[in-house]
Chain A
């Protein structure tokens, strides 16, 4: 049985995607390796590692955006610009989530960085400051 580290596998997947291999084909190859090595539980972590590799190489930043209110298009574009500038990538993809627990504001997370500008976080900071 072959034993490939998750990091190596993520690098391999990033390489494949960057040379233009279709995403579904790369995904199939990764799934095959995970099944072969009995590491199917690591699929989520592997996906994060691939996202990290792509972001690190300046190609794609997959950002998780959490807010209490659904974002408008203008704001979405503004967020993309911000993420593109800070992570220095060619493309940005947003995964939006609405969570009322945030009360207000926004939480932004990429493979390499995170920003919490939610009201819930600020209230927690105030509580901890006491």
Chain B
């Protein structure tokens, strides 16, 4: 130790001391530094590194998790887009089907309506025809009654005894033929 001090004295007087540094102080500080460095390396750095490593792992996991989440989100978005697309397609199809069905129903209803109208017209026409025929018959009967009644009155009034006897004679001769 003494020798070292001597050597330091020599050195300080020769080399380092020429730079204006206190050799003793320098050595002391170096030792202190080494001690602190050793302490740090022994107890502090491993824990610090472990903590940092742990933090790094957590961060990596978080990043990975975030990435997975993002991927999941993207997949979900893709799925939702796909579902939406399918739903829209199905809705469009359903709408088209509904429109086609509505058209068919309307066409059928129109056809039925037309048939019903035609049937009603036919029935009305037949009814009218029957009524007309009935009316015509009644009119004919009434006319016949009127004609016969009038004829009867005229004949009763105009037929003389001589004419009636002539009529009877004529009838008998006709029967004899």
Closest A residue to B141 using CB positions: A130
Which of B9-17, B103-111, B123-131, B145-153 forms contacts with chain A? B145-153
CB pair A127 B172 closer than 8 Å: no
Is A72's beta carbon under 8 Å from chain B? Answer: yes
- Which residue from B140, B145, B165, B171 sits with its C-beta under 8 Å from A117? B171
Is B169's beta carbon under 8 Å from chain A? Answer: yes
Closest A residue to B140 using CB positions: A130
Binding site for A on B (CB under 8 A): 140-141, 143-145, 147-148, 151-152, 155-156, 159, 161, 163-165, 167-169, 171-176
Q: A82-B172, A126-B151 are in contact. List 10 more A-B contacts (CB 8 A).
A: A69-B165, A75-B165, A75-B169, A85-B176, A103-B159, A115-B175, A123-B152, A126-B144, A127-B145, A130-B140
Complex: A104 Cα to B155 Cα, angstroms: 8
- A103 contact set on B, CB distance < 8 A: 152, 155-156, 159
- B155 contact set on A, CB distance < 8 A: 103-104, 119
CB pair B171 A130 closer than 8 Å: no
A123-B148, A127-B145, A130-B143 are known contacts. Are A105 and B167 too (CB-CB below 8 A)? yes
- B152 contact set on A, CB distance < 8 A: 103, 119-120, 123
